[in-house]
Structure 1
Amino acid sequence: MKKNLGTIDRIIRILFAVVVSILFFTNVVTGTLGVILLIVGGVLLATSFMNFCPLYAVLGINSCPIKK
């Protein structure tokens, strides 16, 4: 897997996952919407730690700076 996530993209994904988790576990967001957001947050967190997003690969997006 070739890295395709930049630092800012990773930080945004991690922050989103943390905020969604806090909202879910403090019962601010509940029900089906809460579970869906928690799953999306988990996927974003996993992709940020792997530095690879399969959707970015399919769409040809690369936010990782090119090293020269």
Structure 2
Amino acid sequence: MGTIDRIIRLAVAAVIIVLYLTGTVPGVAGIISIVIAIIFTVTSLIGFCPLYTLLKISTCKVK
């Protein structure tokens, strides 16, 4: 996973969390959004996305 991909994931996760905490995304949609935010955060922190492996996608520049 490339650096830009990791930064974008963290930013999206932060926006989702803010939307949930402000009540913009309530209920079941809010809970699903929080789960997605957690997944984005974890995958960006470890630098690995299992879905990318299944789809054979790489956002990391090959040296």
Would you call these one fold, judging by a TM-score over 0.5? yes
Q: CA RMSD in A?
A: 0.7
Cα deviation code 1:2-55 (max 9, x no counterpart): xxx111111110001000001101111100001001100110110000100000
**Structure with a larger share of its residues in helix:** 2
5+ residue gaps in structure 2? none
Q: What TM-score results when the alignment is normalised by the length of structure 1?
A: 0.88
Picking from 13, 19, 37, the partner of 1:41 is 37
Q: 2:6 aligns with which of 6, 10, 25?
A: 10
| TM-score between both structures, scaled by the size of structure 2 | 0.95
How many aligned residue pairs are there?
A: 63
Aligned residues with identical type, % of pairs: 43
